[in-house]
Amino acid sequence: MKVNTYLNFPGNCEQAMNFYEKHLGAKIVMKSRFADMSASGTPQNLPPGLNRNGIMHARFSLGDTIVMASDGPKVEPMRSAYLTLSVESDAEAERIYAALTDGGEVFIKMDETFFAHRFGQFRDKFGINWMVIHEKPMPRPA
């Protein structure tokens, strides 16, 4: 079994993927638009509020993970799930934190903790919750 993350955006999926590509090194693997749903380019039964040029389905790689995404009607920000980025340095943690918190909402300011050299928790301007961590070595349980 494999678990994949699927992100829904309120009409700005393509903008978010381009942002993640620029700031996180994500690579857009594929994207299809609602207009691609029919040969005529006019989608049938498109839910109200969706733009025909919006993203119907996309995939992007983030590190060694594939993330799927689309634009959807009545999308609300995630509340209880976080995408967690584990990085190898304080500098990388700070760089990502600065980029993703710009225009977003900080829940836990980037700082040192007992378990991490750097840790921060926030929601980006696209409504996606993130944690960024540069972990400290932790003792293994006995």
Residue 74: the pLDDT is 77
Looking at the structure, do residues 91 and 54 belong to the same domain, yes or no?
no
Residues of the chain with pLDDT under 70: 38-45
Q: Based on the domain organization, do 70 and 85 belong to the same domain?
A: no
> How many independent structural domains does the chain possess?
2
Whether residue 69 is found in the same domain as residue 89: no
Residue 29 CA from chain centroid, whole number: 15
Last residue of a domain, one of 38, 59, 74: 74
Distance (Å, whole) CA 28 – CA 25: 10
pLDDT of residue 80: 85
Rounded to two decimals, the pTM is: 0.87
pLDDT attached to residue 35 = 83
Q: By residue range, what is the domain housing residue 140? A: 81-142
Please indicate, yes or no, whether residues 89 and 128 belong to a single structural domain of this protein.
yes
